Amino acid sequence: MSILSLHHHKLLLVLLAILLWPGLAQARHGGVASDEIVLQLKWHHQFQFAGYYAALARGYYREEGLSVRIEEGSPSTNPIERVLQNEAQFGIGTSELLLAHSQGEPVLALAAIIQHSPLVLLARQDGQLTALRDLRGKRLQVVEHEYELFAMFQALGFSRQDFQLLPRTVDLGPMIRGEVDAIAAYATDEPFELARHQLPLLSISPRSAGIDFYGDTLFTSESFHQRQPAQVAAFVRASLRGWEYALQHPEEIVDLILLRYQPGKSREHLLFEAEEMRRLILPELVDLGHMSQNRWQAIADRYAALGLLGPQLDLGRFLYNPRTEPQHPWLYGFIAALLLLVLLVSGFAIYTLRLNQRLRHSEEGYRILHQASPMAILACDRHRRITAWNPQAAATFGWTAEEAMGQDIFDFMIPKDQMEHVEENLSHLQDSSVPLKSRNWNLTREGKRILCEWQNSLLRDASGQLAGVIALARDITVQQRTEAALKASEQRFRLLAENAFDVIWIADLNGRFSFISPSVERLRGYTVAEAMQQNILETLQPEAVEEVQAAITHLQQSGELLKQHWEIDQPCKNGSTVSTEVIVNVIRDERGRPQEIFGITRDITERKHLEARLLSMAHYDALTGLPNRVLFFDRLEQAVKQAQREGQRFGLLFIDLDGFKAANDRHGHDFGDQVLCEVARRLQKHVRQSDTVARMGGDEFTVILNHLHGGDNGETVVRQILESLAQAYHLQGKEASLSASIGISLYPDHATDSEQLLKLADSAMYQVKHRGKNAYTYSQG
């Protein structure tokens, strides 16, 4: 090592020690000292904020020296105002943080937790509704600041005036009753509620129009970051650890949310939200909290297109960046320049040495080339007599050099039907004086015809006069047959592909298409010409892009597919999406190296709908839409486990209708079916969302009343149910009067297992029947 290098090495070590000293000192004192830190959520407690609950419960904040309090949000809560007014140090926001930043508000985006916004437009799907264009003139409930939807309208060529825009209500009743045609919703929430009502829905995501905003983003204020950079870094670290744990243990965190935060949602609802959140966070493909400046810029461009902010935006102050810059860039530049100079000098010296060697040994090189060439080399004078014949010429045509030398090539090598063609080629060569490439059939010593590819050049003497021709030949008979077979195969492939219902396509390893069958227009609405302009990644919904990109990178690096079978939603030209099954394989060269990707894409939309219907049929009663016996027993088992785990009580009601058979016999089965549906509606009206109403069969129903507190035995709800079911039924112009007999068992008062609870409730119901009906009684245990 030189003195200069040693000096710089020591200097770098000293500077590094100086830079690390504050951090080392802080570490020795136990981390980040802190007063209470407040995190302001933007909505009510739910799995949407699971990572922060996990970080608090698991002690990750405490390990960083932070005392953290999590504040619940509401429709009136503005996290940005709370943070900027120092009422909270951190908040959860959306892409609207950009608007606040553009208006001079000193907000600092720390980590994008949800990579793809869950905001969608949910529409009641009837036979004529297939895409956004079918909602023109229809009633849409939206929130004014949900700019992603308006950006989607703009991108697809629509404006606000194309729809009847109504204020979004918290209640889903208008959607369920058909009073509105579509609502703005979160893919993680409302679909679960609407599925209970078996509404056929069309989900239209802004991502289908290329509008891909971030979802929940953790943020703070510039002033807090300037005052407490260590606390900010510590809070981000702990929060991301919490999210990692929450995504790995969703059921545990769901139970934590139910126990500590009373979210007003059922366990099933929270688990649904957890699964949907994972699809939007993409933890397997994207680092938790990752933010891209280019993507934020694209979001800003969308806001600018909507007229909400100007074209110039300083994202440097908006995005949190904990990394530091190199301390001595000049040193690395000096080293790079020095290395480049050494390489140039060395390269020139080596080149000069090799050039001199080639000049000294050129004659020997030509001799070796002539003897060892893999191609046939022959020469003839101006009278077409052979003057040179290398070993490969002997191997190709069969004659030795002694046999070939001095013979006229037309006398022994050229078939009669090829002589005119060869004569024309030689004449053209002499006229143009440039090398000529040609193909013609030749004869071997055995009389076999072979097709050769020739490269011919003129030979001239020292005075420039024509001396003859030198030629290189290659037997391409097998290649020609292969090419002909390949051409025929390609014709058959194109005939098959152009008439196939599925989309057949070929792309290179960078995702650029070289072939797409015409059926792509039927599948996605794009013509072949339009589809060919797209890259594979542009044919995907944003949530699938990173996974497919990872698969392509893996193929490029390893030569192998991650998987051959994919199920992917793809965007269509009209803004809708189509569910597809994609089967891919690799086209390899003769050495087994991957060259292209071959794929078949099939529309599985109907299959997906059928699977959803079959799943619904397996778990829900076809007449009333209530959970059936199978789902009821599953819910009852879950209720027992949860009550055991949390030390809670719940009640089970077994309900049998009084007088239903007589009404059914008198007015007919259609009337009876309508009565059962009305009974289901009345039962649901008097229970909470966390409770379960099920139809066991016939005119028997069950109700699970969860979370009974203190001395509450559910008696108030039972009386309301009795009163409601006893009211007259006016349906189809007919009237019927019914009542109900209700048996009740309580956990753990009467039993601690599901089978015994149901048996006791059933027995209690029969006691009511025997005593005169239209009443209720508790099991005697």
Instruction: Let me know: does 701 contact 627? Beta carbons within 8 Å.
Output: no
Q: Can you give the three-state secondary structure of 18-73, one letter per residue? A: HHHHHHHHHHHCCCCCCCEEEEECCCCCCHHHHHHHHHHHCCHHHHCCCEEEEECC
Distance between CA atoms of 518 and 503, rounded to whole angstroms? 7
Residue 325 has pLDDT above 60, yes or no: no
At residue 616, the pLDDT reads: 73
Cβ neighbours around 307 below 10 Å, total? 7
Q: Can you give the three-state secondary structure of 668-686, one letter per residue? A: CHHHHHHHHHHHHHHHHHC
Residue 719 has pLDDT above 90, yes or no: yes
Residue 300 has pLDDT above 50, yes or no: yes
Residue 10 has pLDDT above 80, yes or no: no
Question: What is the dihedral sign for C-alpha 63, 68, 74, 80?
Answer: negative
pLDDT bucket at 374, cuts 50 / 70 / 90: confident
Nearest to 568 by CA among 530, 524, 526, 610: 524
At residue 7, the pLDDT reads: 42
At residue 168, the pLDDT reads: 83
At residue 747, the pLDDT reads: 95
SS3 helix, strand, coil % of the chain, rounded to 5?
45, 25, 30
Residue 332 has pLDDT above 70, yes or no: no
Q: Of 168-172, 177-181, 353-357, which range is least confident?
A: 353-357
Residue 136 has pLDDT above 50, yes or no: yes
Residue 334 has pLDDT above 50, yes or no: no
Q: Give CA torsion, residues 365, 366, 372, 378, to 10 deg.
A: 180
Residue 248 has pLDDT above 80, yes or no: yes
At residue 571, the pLDDT reads: 92
At residue 427, the pLDDT reads: 85
Residue 658 has pLDDT above 50, yes or no: yes
Per residue in 378-394, pLDDT tens? 999 988 899 889 999 99
pLDDT bucket at 607, cuts 50 / 70 / 90: confident
Residue 628 has pLDDT above 80, yes or no: yes
User: What is the arithmetic mean of pLDDT over 567-584?
Assistant: 92
Please spell the DSSP secondary structure of 639-671, one letter per residue: HHHHHHHHT-EEEEEEEEEESHHHHHHHH-HHH
Q: Of 13-17, 251-255, 658-662, which range is least confident?
A: 13-17
Give burial (CB, 10 Å; 0-12/13-18/19+) of 621: buried
The larger pLDDT score, comparing residue 192 to residue 19, is at 192
Instruction: Let me know: does 562 contact 589? Beta carbons within 8 Å.
Output: no
User: What is the arithmetic mean of pLDDT over 407-416?
Assistant: 92
pLDDT bucket at 311, cuts 50 / 70 / 90: low
Cβ neighbours around 609 below 10 Å, total? 13
At residue 499, the pLDDT reads: 65
Which residues touch 110 (CB under 8 Å, ≥6 apart)? Answer: 90, 217, 218, 219, 220, 232, 236, 289, 320
Instruction: Let me know: does 412 contact 443? Beta carbons within 8 Å.
Output: yes
At residue 139, the pLDDT reads: 92
Full-prediction pTM beyond 0.75? no
Q: Of 36-50, 497-511, 679-693, 706-720, which range is least confident?
A: 497-511
pLDDT bucket at 237, cuts 50 / 70 / 90: very high
Q: Looking at residue 169, what DSSP letter applies?
A: P
The larger pLDDT score, comparing residue 103 to residue 694, is at 694
From residue 175, how far is each of 124, 273, 679 by CA, in Å?
Answer: 8, 20, 22
Q: Which residue bears the tokens 């077409």?
A: 384
At residue 47, the pLDDT reads: 95
State CA 665 to chain mean position distance: 55
The larger pLDDT score, comparing residue 46 to residue 198, is at 46
Q: Is 734 left (phi over 0), alpha (psi -120 to 50) or beta?
A: beta
Distance between CA atoms of 182 and 130, rounded to whole angstroms? 13
Buried b (16+ CB within 10 A) or exposed e, 740-779: bbbbbbbbeebbeebeebbebbbebbeebeeeeebbbbbb
User: What is the arithmetic mean of pLDDT over 398-404?
Assistant: 90
Long-range contacts of 151-159 (CB under 8 A, 24+ apart): 151/206, 151/209, 151/211, 151/302, 151/303, 151/305, 151/306, 152/121, 152/204, 152/206, 152/208, 152/209, 152/211, 152/575, 154/305, 154/306, 155/209, 155/210, 155/211, 156/132, 156/209, 156/575, 158/132, 158/133
At residue 220, the pLDDT reads: 97
* Phi (first) and psi of residue 728, to 5 degrees: -60, 150
User: What is the arithmetic mean of pLDDT over 473-492?
Assistant: 80
Distance between CA atoms of 54 and 513, rounded to whole angstroms? 45
Nearest to 732 by CA among 671, 663, 651, 664: 671
Residue 336 has pLDDT above 90, yes or no: no
Q: Does residue 118 have a cis peptide bond before it, meaning omega lies within 30 degrees of 0?
A: no
The larger pLDDT score, comparing residue 245 to residue 28, is at 245
- In terms of DSSP bridges, do strands 36-40 and 67-71 run parallel, antiparallel, or are they unpaired? parallel
- pLDDT > 90: what percent of the chain? 48
At residue 106, the pLDDT reads: 93
Tokens representing 415 are 């078939």
User: What is the arithmetic mean of pLDDT over 557-579?
Assistant: 90
Mean pLDDT of the chain: 84
User: What is the arithmetic mean of pLDDT over 171-184?
Assistant: 88
At residue 95, the pLDDT reads: 87
Residue 743 has pLDDT above 60, yes or no: yes
Tokens representing 473 are 């030949």
Tokens representing 29 are 């004192």
Alpha helices in 222-288 (DSSP H): 222-227, 229-248, 250-261, 267-281
At residue 204, the pLDDT reads: 86
Per residue in 91-114, pLDDT tens? 999 888 998 898 889 999 999 999
pLDDT bucket at 266, cuts 50 / 70 / 90: very high
